[in-house]
Chains A and B, each alone.
Chain A
Amino acid sequence: MTLPLGLFAQVLHLVLVLLAALVLPGLLDSARARFQGRHGPHPLQPALDWLALLRKQPVVAESASGISSIAPYLGFAAMLAAVLLAPGFAHGMALSSLTDLVVLAGLLALARAARALAALDAGTATGGLAAAGGMGLAGLTLPTLLLAAMGFSILTGTTGADGIAQSLRESVPAFRVPLGLLALALLAVALAETGRLPAGNPAAEALGDGGDDSVPEASGRHLALWRMQSALRLVFWLSLLAGLFAPFGMASAASGALGWLLALLLWPLKLLLLTLALAVAEARLARLRAARLTELLTAALLLALLGVVWLFLSAGVA
């Protein structure tokens, strides 16, 4: 893809993911409420909440340091960078050479660490709990993500998300067991990372608006940034899953205007479908205990392990 076209696609991708972050969390909440037979909030309610929060004056504890004011921006920027690098509607966007999965894992870790630092800043008990919970989960999600990267690198010879999507799209469309195992593993990781499975904390559900309580002390625009970051995280994982496991219909430089139009329609459709599936799962599943979540993640890790070993054993590789 030529540079102007790549830049154009990248900017379009940025606009699309920001729109998705605006719409999808609210849509998820209202769809879940509908599936449970409730009315539920308006789909744009989270966005309206952000606007309300932006108008409020942030309040910072006396014992807090500059971290409380810097970390929201850092976490949001890291997550926005990760979303920019996630696979979108087209191949070969301007930043497509940076879309390495290990770098993406590093950006996610940076966002997570910023969240935990902000939670620890004021020195409250709830803040410590929130920070520990967020960091502890990474011990199981990071190895799964790395194993998935290894599986893709064996299959396609690269760990760049863009390159993976491209070569999987060009290969023969057939169901492959290792890919299925990796998809299941990454799905569990995505559920845990986005905090969408109602696990452990009943308050998260009581808030109902996807209230991200990972930084209990935040308020005003800081809280708005944390919530927007959590919305971006949802978009990131959905687009990563869609891009890696369902890369059909993505546009490239060769595809004409019709191809681009189709890709621009297909990408939101994929995300929408995933969101609805997530809403059904959230509505139908009982709440997991915190211990069950770690079991789910351990199973995901084992599935990823099996997927990679399967790749070794399948013909032509071992």
Chain B
Amino acid sequence: MIEYIAYLFLCVGGACALIGAMGLLRFPDVYNRLHANTVIVVGGVIMTLFGVSILYGLSMYSLKALLIALFLFITNPVGAHAIARAAHKSGVKLWPRSVVDKLEEEEKR
């Protein structure tokens, strides 16, 4: 029974990783690609690590996999925020059809 839950986590993780990579290839600008990056990390990587740690029960592998998952879960939003802020500060243009840019409005005031 518990193996099937682990298999479900692993399959969802692999599918999310592939879908996120396609999004990374297809999306039009940096700020949209960060969304695909988050899909890869939270949907793909952390799901797969959960699946591995469920599959191997309480052992050294699963503890280390959970530690890596917790670390990625904390650090990925920080890194994404830093990249988005650096891109906006260095003048990367938004996609022409995007509708709102709150940071630019805030800087103009």
Do A and B pair up? The answer is no
B residues with a Cβ closer than 8 A to A are none
Interface residues of A (CB under 8 A from B): none
